[in-house]
Amino acid sequence: MRCGARTILSLAAVLCGILVMPSPSFAQDPQDPQGPQATGGKGPRAKALRARMLERFDTDKDGKLSDSERAAARQAAKKAKAHLLKKFDANKNGKLEPAERQAAKAAALKRFDKNGDGKLGPAERKAMRKAISKRLQAQEAKGEKAKAKGKASRTKDKAKDKDKDKDKDKAKVI
């Protein structure tokens, strides 16, 4: 399944925690005032977003996302969206309403607005993206560890079952 550049950019925006619409509380790039989609994916913010996507998901380092790398990006975006919904979807309708988006913005400002100016500047946005990425990677590692533990447990159970079967076979022989 092929995804267009806009789909990848949209997923990346969710992944980076930029699910909220642009507002005065988030500092804007004067050359790209309305975000990556406003410039057709060619503005400075879109380029930076693509670079972050490649850095995180381009595992073979060929400069583009393969189908499996896109699938990993989509999966990470789904997890990020699920986290945002779990945390901020007060009415539990599966989407963030304007008031819920405002709550998400307020939480981001409270946590990452280090200079207290009521806006997230470039360095603060970078710190936010880094924290979100770190949290998502920790969740992925935790999930992989749980899968490995489950697999080891299943392997152990299979070995026990084989031993029981051998014991039954021995009993039949005697």
Rg (CA), the chain: 23
Quick check: is 158 in a domain?
A: no
User: Distance between CA atoms of 46 and 9, rounded to whole angstroms?
Assistant: 8
Quick check: is 124 in a domain?
A: yes
User: Distance between CA atoms of 39 and 48, rounded to whole angstroms?
Assistant: 13
Residue by residue, pLDDT tens for the chain (174 residues) are 444 545 444 544 544 444 333 443 444 445 444 554 555 667 888 888 888 889 888 999 999 999 999 998 898 888 888 888 999 999 999 998 999 999 988 998 999 999 999 888 899 988 988 888 788 778 778 877 777 777 666 666 666 666 666 666 665 656
Quick check: is 142 in a domain?
A: yes
The tally of CA atoms less than 13 A away on the side-chain side of residue 162 is 6
Quick check: is 162 in a domain?
A: no
Quick check: is 28 in a domain?
A: yes
Quick check: is 70 in a domain?
A: yes
The tally of CA atoms less than 13 A away on the side-chain side of residue 12 is 27
Range(s) of the domain holding residue 95: 5-148
Quick check: is 173 in a domain?
A: no
Contact in structure between 44 and 31 (CB atoms under 8 Å): yes
Look at the chain and report how many structural domains it folds into.
Answer: 1
Quick check: is 157 in a domain?
A: no
